Structure 1
Amino acid sequence: MNNHVLTIAGCTLALGIAVPAGAQDVDRSDWPSSFTVGTASQGGTYFAYGSGWANLVADELGLSGGAEVTGGPMQNMALVHTGDLAFGMTTLGPARESMEGSNPIAPGLEMTNACAIFPMYQTPFSVTALSSSGIESISDIPDGARIGFGPAGSTSDTYFPQMMDTLGVNYERRNGGWSDLGGQLQDGLLDVIAFAAGIPVPAVSQLEVQTDVNIIEYTEEEQQQLMEAFPVAEFEIPADTYSTLSEPARSVSMWNFAIASCDLPESFVKEAVAVVMSDNERMVNIHRAAESTVPENVDKNTVLPWHPGAAAWFRENTDVEISDEMVFGG
């Protein structure tokens, strides 16, 4: 497990942190004194988003909380399943594979002790190259191109190479954190980066400031090919996401959900969900991708069981429906 932990809001009730009125009346005797959220590599959306909501929950509930750099969704599923992390973030494709025992971290182990707690956002699969490369479409990617697919075992690394195979691209596979890959692209060590991350991707935004890039969209035919072959949906990257874009870019996407160990106390998870879901503006201030972190997107989860605490909050405070069959232990 990567021990690079960003400790944020390491504050407790003893330090005089105000706990929200709703949480003051809750029996906290079985709550953990601290928690960690598994994210992904620095420079990616998971780290920015996950650090932000860890900070927010820690601050609001008067606990010590932090975000940990991990290998992304597959590793987060493993660490949350085993209880090594209280919370994590995952994409539904890796979540399904993990539950079915196909997680490469522990082949054969059915990771069924990770529960959904709230919808996050869609992860578009997007491709970026330097403008100077002349690569303006998938078909422009040269034979043997050096493509950065993100951290090994990440959603991007799990699916994007297969997608490139499907689209007939021949490449050399490279891995690394998003910030590092962005630097390699700028230095001419990579030809393309294949990003699977919530938008705007911090590493892409940083590249735009420093150099001219092409954000490459799929043709309608390519988009259809990917939707037929993978658990992805049609998506458009809005034109105002990046300064490089003058119009929306055609893409495909996969949903992300926050997860928790199914063994965590129901009241603790319920209050943590309340902090995140009760004020969307605060979440959007953390990262723009959180515009999709709203109750209406609960139904996008067709894979993971819901934590009883999360299900209770949604049932009591929103009109969304969660069936008993989708609740852990139900």
Structure 2
Amino acid sequence: MKNISIAAVVAAAIAVPAFAEDRAGWPESFTVGTASQGGTYFAYGSGWANLVADELGITGGGEVTGGPMQNMALVHTGDAQFGMTTMGPAAESLNGTNPIAPGLQMTNACAMFPMYQTPFAITTLKSSGIASIADIPAGAKIGFGPAGSTSDTYFPRMIETLGIEFERRNGGWNDLGTQLQDGLLDVIAFAAGVPTPAVSQLEVQTEVNFITFSEEEQAKILESFPVAPFTIPADTYETMTEDAQSVSMWNFAIANCDLPTSFVEAVVDVVMSDNERMKGIHKAARSTLPENWDKNNVLMWHPGAAKWFTENAGADIPADKIFSN
């Protein structure tokens, strides 16, 4: 037994990256700000939080929040060590236009690693007869997710740009899915990584329509908002029969800028060093790849994250883009 124990200790020591051996200043526990249950943020964020906790031997987990805007605020203040955000809400938070704390420039939230693109997608019940954006009737009740989320921040403006009149509704994705089934909503406008758990649950329980953007609608949105073209593949959902054209924003994990360099570097290493393991947490992680470091053009980099991407992904991150006290 003694020999086995010694071997295990030696093996563990070899497996721990050199930068993780220095744990000076590391927190005893950590929290990852995610979003509402039923959305991709919650599933993805809780997954990598648990993975990091297991690999580094530290207590940590995901926390339900209002999404990217609130996560920027929580990480900036240090109430959460980590969080997740899309680039649009990140830019607004840096500029002091985050509705949670108007006027506060949230500059103490740093980029940590690329996650995935968030497509903007519309789902209705097949029984509604709504098969396109143009079919959405004036005054339709549309659920946009939690107040302050990426979806709630941008999708109403997009729908208005396309000339649709609607009544705005907010709530967690699971709750909105139930309201759609109960006839309390006409449409749900999702901004979440795909497959979105709430949509996967909906298609098991009832027949749904996956609404695609027409070329003209997509072009109008691309002209007006900080988004990129995106195609939701037909195999994303069990009952989806063809690709859906959409638009998307990139998501990044964020860290409080004051966290120790070695701690953040170790966290990034756990997440970025094994993509197959991340895809096991959520399919959206197929884009959680080192080469996507360059999709951050908004946030300052945490020094620990910048060090990992520079040494392991050949990233060329300018010194003036790395946070420094």
TM-score (norm 1): 0.93
Determine the structure 1 residue equivalent to 2:77: 82
1:142 maps to which residue?
137
What is the aligned length? 314
User: Residue 23 of structure 1 contacts residue 271 of structure 1 at CA under 8 Å; is this kept in 2?
Assistant: no
Q: Which amino acid aligns with 2:149?
A: S
The Cα shift of 1:320 comes to 2.5
1:246 and 1:325 mapped to 2: Cα distance?
47
Query: Per-residue CA shift, 1:131-173, capped at 9, x if unaligned?
Result: 0000000000011000000000000000010001000111010
Residue identity (%): 73
Find out whether 1:39 has 2:46 as its counterpart.
no
How far apart, in 2, do the equivalents of 1:244 and 1:138 lie?
Answer: 19
Q: 1:192 to 1:25 in 2, by over 3 A?
A: closer
Q: Specify which of 193, 208, 215 is matched with residue 213 of structure 1.
A: 208
Consecutive aligned runs of 4 or more in structure 1 exceeding 4 Å deviation: none
Q: Residue 329 of structure 1 corresponds to which residue in structure 2?
A: 324
Correspondence 1:189-200 to 2 at 5 A? 189-200=184-195
The alignment partner of 1:128 has SS state of: strand
Q: 1:23 to 1:39 in 2, by over 3 A?
A: farther
1-structure distance, mates of 2:284, 2:42: 12
Distance in 1, matches of 2:181 and 2:279, equals 29
For 1:308-328, what per-residue CA distance to the aligned partner results, in whole angstroms no more than 9, with x for missing partners? 000001111122321212111
1:128 to 86, 100, 123: 123
Matched, 1:271 2:259: no
Deviations 1:236-275 (A, max 9, x none): 0011101222221000000000000000000000000000
- 1:214/1:244 contact within 8 Å kept: no
1:283 to 278, 290, 301: 278
Give yes or no for contact 1:215–1:244 (8 Å, CA) kept in 2: no
Provide the secondary structure at the position in 1 that maps to 2:17.
Answer: helix
Equivalent-residue separation in structure 2 for 1:99 and 1:24 (angstroms): 30
SS of the equivalent of 1:55 reads helix
Q: Where in structure 2 are the equivalents of 1:1-330 lying within 5 Å?
A: 20-22=15-17, 26-329=21-324
Structure 1 position 23, deviation (Å): 5.5
**Contact 2:143–2:185 (CA<8 Å) still a contact in 1?**
yes
Partner of 2:3: none
What SS does structure 2 have at the residue aligned with 1:263?
Answer: coil
Matched letter for residue 295 of structure 1: P
Which amino acid in the other structure matches residue 235 of structure 1? F
* Distance (Å, rounded) in 1 between the aligned partners of 2:281 and 2:193: 13
* Aligned residue type for 1:82: T
The Cα RMSD (Å) is 1.3
Asked whether the 8 Å contact 1:127–1:216 carries over to 2, the reply is yes
What 5-or-longer segments of structure 2 have no aligned partner?
1-8
The answer to whether the 8 Å contact 2:20/2:266 transfers is no
